[in-house]
């Protein structure tokens, strides 16, 4: 099969959460364990860092991979979903897996697929582990899909685990309280393996401490040790500049981060805490490598869609924040910008609990352009529009993301701001 035929086979043959939603979710590890045994258990040949969380896990994964690569380690990076090309999910030293390697892997596991009917994500996880093992990476940074305890990635024995934050997302699969969601994420905490929690929360702190105690694992709350100080940024230029302190003492000064979202402050603290744990495990990560990795994270890893500036006049920004906590961060950052009017291009997926999102979306001085991202799981733009009216949002609906953005560009003055978000898949169509 050619590469395009291989992808067509995967997309049509395997249930894919990103396209069809919860029916694709496999709530056990049986298939992925069988697959990895079929492959010779490549996951057992890897040193890994395992990262879960509701928001921020993609940014933390990319930052940490960039730092490790800058320190001279051959670094694997597994993330999801992809924005444009499947190969974005699996990288070594920032370079995507080749088309040929994807084709060869799928041919190899075709008998397994036909016999076991795994999910798309299970096959992707197996492909990543197999590729990283064959490439003999020094370390692999592994991002969970969703959840943790039953996530297909949760068959590794990592050097450390990181949980970025807990918010309202996938409640139908992970639980209807923050405590239940936290318990699922805490499932990545392994026996006698350090765990970093990036943000302390009164709702979830006890859950993580109890799991760490149960597994005899050291637990570190990054925001209790690390602070971001003297933060500066330009609304129209990519990047943040800041200093970092640890327990009141200077840690790193004059740090440049190639990502622009103010919410990245939370994620940087988790990266710094993880670096300190790795240093204690004899990994050589000089300060210069931390600064170099953060300053070049987009160039090194190809990370996109995180407060990404795609036009300057009018200032046009795309961000993948898509749940309540993500939209709160988006709204807070938008509130710090100076503009005459906000034009908000909004597209979401059908299984999203919109009431919590609507609560925190901007209501004043804003026009909404409701649209449907181009995938089966996308919520019809008319339904989104009708539900938004009940929440007090004002705007019109459009048949596609591009049509909505075109209308926003036509209406916007140079002194306005255009924002595109609501879903990773909405952002994927414009970045």
What digits encode the pLDDT tens for the residues 282-341?
A: 999 999 999 999 999 999 999 999 999 999 999 999 999 888 888 999 999 999 999 999
- Report the pLDDT averaged over residues 14-25: 54
Do 66 and 289 meet the contact criterion of CB atoms below 8 Å apart?
Answer: no
Same domain, 218 and 358: no
Please compute the mean of the pLDDT values over residues 107-117 and round it to a whole number. 95
- Is there a single domain that holds both residue 317 and residue 279? no
Number of alpha carbons in the 13 Å side-chain half-sphere of residue 372: 15
The answer to which of 126-135, 172-181, 393-402 has the lowest mean pLDDT is: 172-181
Kindly state whether residues 266 and 337 are assigned to the same domain: no
CATH code where residue 129 lies = 3.40.1190.10
Distance CA 104, CA 106 (A): 6
E strands within 122-165?
A: 139-143, 160-163
**351: pLDDT strictly greater than 90:** no
What pLDDT is attached to residue 147? 74
Task: Count helices and strands (H / E) in the chain.
Answer: 18, 17
CA distance 330 to 361: 9
One domain, residues 92 and 150? yes
What's the CA angle centered on 70, arms 68 and 71, to 5 degrees? 65
Q: Does 198 lie in the same domain as 145? A: yes
Residues 6+ apart with CB under 8 A from 125: 32, 35, 78, 152, 153
24: confidence class by pLDDT, cuts 50, 70, 90 = very low
Q: Is residue 82 located within the same domain as residue 210?
A: yes
How many Å separate Cα 56 from the centre of its chain? 6
Task: Give the residue numbers spanning the domain of 134.
Answer: 3-301
Question: Which comes out higher in pLDDT, residue 11 or 141?
Answer: 141
- pLDDT greater than 60 at residue 17: no
Average pLDDT over residues 155-183: 78
Spatial distance between the Cα atoms of 169 and 151, rounded to a whole number of angstroms: 15
Let me know whether 116 and 236 are in one domain.
yes
pLDDT at 170: 46
Q: In the prediction, which pLDDT does 176 show?
A: 61
Q: What confidence score (pLDDT) does residue 13 get? A: 84
pLDDT, tens digit (0-9, with 9 covering 90-100), for 202-242: 888 999 999 999 999 999 999 999 999 999 998 878 899 99
Phi, psi dihedral angles at 391 (to 5 degrees): -90, 0
Q: Are residues 297 and 316 in the same domain?
A: no
The continuous run of DSSP H or E covering 62 comes out as: helix 57-70
Q: Find all residues with CB under 8 Å of 19, minimum gap 6, and list them.
A: 11, 375, 376, 377
Q: How many domains does the chain have?
A: 2
23 has a pLDDT exceeding 70: no
User: Beta strand 226-233 with 195-197: parallel, antiparallel or unpaired?
Assistant: unpaired
Phi then psi for residue 238, to 5 deg, are -65, 145
DSSP state of 379: P
Instruction: Determine whether 207 is exposed, middle or buried from the number of CB atoms within 10 Å of its CB (0-12, 13-18, 19+).
Output: buried
pLDDT number for residue 26: 56
Q: What is the pLDDT of residue 169?
A: 55
User: Residue 302 has which token pair?
Assistant: 């190809």
Q: Is the pLDDT of residue 19 over 60?
A: no
Distance CA 55, CA 367 (A): 26
Q: Which of 279, 301, 323 is the last residue of a domain?
A: 301
What are the DSSP calls for 216-255, one per residue?
T--EEEHHHHEEEEEEEE-TTSS-EEEEEEETTEEEEEEE
Locate 406 and state its tokens: 């075109």
Residue 355 has pLDDT above 90, yes or no: no
Q: What is the pTM of this model?
A: 0.93
Dist CA 125 CA 140 (whole Å): 12
Q: Residue 407 is encoded by which pair of tokens?
A: 């209308």
What's the confidence (pLDDT) of residue 213?
96
Given pLDDT bands bounded at 50, 70 and 90, which one contains residue 15?
low
> Which tens digit of pLDDT belongs to each residue from 246-263?
999 999 999 999 999 999
Backbone angles phi, psi at 354, to 5 degrees: -75, -25
pLDDT score, position 310: 94
* Mean pLDDT, range 350-369, rounded to an integer: 89
The residue among 301, 319, 334 that closes a domain is 301
One-letter-per-residue 3-state SS of 187-210? HHCCCCCCEEECCCCCCCHHHHHH
Percent of the chain with pLDDT over 90: 81
Q: What is the DSSP letter of 357?
A: H
Query: What is the predicted pLDDT for the residue at 376?
Result: 85
Q: Answer positive or negative: Cα dihedral of 181, 184, 188, 191.
A: positive
Please, what is the end-to-end C-alpha distance for the chain in angstroms? 29
pLDDT tier at 275 (50, 70, 90 boundaries)?
Answer: very high
Same domain, 291 and 342: no
383 in helix, strand or coil? Answer: helix
Q: How confident is the model at residue 354 (pLDDT cuts 50, 70, 90)?
A: confident
- The residue to which tokens 């084709």 are assigned: 103
For residue 369, the domain's CATH number is 3.90.190.20
Q: Could you tell me if 282 and 328 lie in one domain?
A: no
DSSP secondary-structure letter at 98? Answer: P
Tens of pLDDT, residue by residue over 35-89, are 999 999 999 999 999 999 988 999 999 999 999 999 999 999 999 999 999 999 9
Among 301, 321, 349, give the residue marking a domain's end.
301
224 within 8 A of 211, measured Cβ to Cβ: no
Strand partners, 367: 343
- Tell me the per-residue pLDDT of 385-394, one tens digit each, with 9 for 90 and over: 999 998 999 9
| Least-confidence region, from 10-24, 187-201, 410-424 | 10-24
Same domain, 296 and 312: no
Q: Are residues 136 and 268 in the same domain?
A: yes
């Amino acid at each position: 099969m050619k590469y395009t035929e291989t992808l067509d086979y995967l997309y049509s043959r395997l249930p894919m959460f990103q396209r069809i939603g919860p029916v694709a979710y496999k709530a056990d590890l049986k298939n992925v364990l069988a697959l990895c045994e079929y492959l010779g258990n490549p996951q057992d040949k890897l040193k890994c860092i395992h990262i879960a969380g509701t928001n921020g896990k993609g940014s933390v994964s990319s930052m940490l991979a960039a730092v490790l690569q800058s320190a001279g380690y051959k670094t694997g990076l597994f993330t999801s979903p992809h924005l444009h090309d499947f190969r974005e999910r699996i990288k070594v030293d920032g370079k995507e897996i080749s088309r040929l390697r994807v084709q060869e892997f799928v041919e190899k596991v075709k008998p397994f697929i036909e016999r076991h009917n795994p999910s798309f994500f299970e096959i992707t996880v197996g492909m990543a582990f197999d590729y990283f093992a064959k490439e003999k990476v020094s370390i692999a940074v592994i991002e969970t899909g969703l959840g943790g305890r039953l996530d297909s990635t949760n068959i590794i024995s990592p050097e450390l685990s990181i949980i970025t934050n807990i918010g309202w997302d996938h409640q139908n699969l992970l639980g209807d309280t923050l405590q239940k969601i936290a318990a699922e994420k805490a499932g990545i905490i392994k026996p006698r393996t350090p765990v970093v929690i990036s943000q302390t929360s009164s709702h979830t702190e006890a859950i993580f401490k109890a799991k760490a105690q149960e597994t005899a694992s050291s637990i570190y709350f990054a925001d209790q040790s690390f602070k971001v100080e003297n933060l500066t940024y330009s609304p129209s230029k990519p990047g943040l500049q800041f200093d970092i302190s640890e327990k009141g003492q200077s840690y790193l000064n004059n740090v440049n981060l190639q990502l622009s979202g103010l919410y990245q402050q939370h994620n940087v603290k988790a990266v710094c805490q993880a670096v300190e744990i790795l240093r204690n495990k004899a990994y050589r990560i000089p300060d210069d490598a931390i600064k170099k990795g953060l300053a070049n994270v987009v160039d090194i890893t190809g990370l996109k869609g995180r407060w990404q500036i795609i036009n300057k006049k009018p200032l046009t920004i795309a961000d993948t924040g898509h749940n309540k906590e993500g939209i709160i961060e988006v709204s807070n950052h938008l509130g710090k910008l100076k503009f005459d009017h906000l034009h908000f291009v909004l597209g979401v997926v059908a299984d999203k609990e919109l009431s919590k999102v609507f609560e925190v979306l901007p209501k004043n001085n804003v026009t909404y352009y409701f649209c449907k991202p181009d995938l089966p799981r996308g919520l019809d733009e008319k339904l989104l529009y009708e539900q938004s009216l009940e929440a007090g949002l004002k705007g019109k609906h459009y048949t596609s993301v591009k049509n909505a953005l075109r209308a926003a560009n036509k209406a916007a003055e140079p002194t306005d701001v255009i924002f595109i978000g609501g879903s990773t898949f909405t952002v994927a169509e414009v970045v």
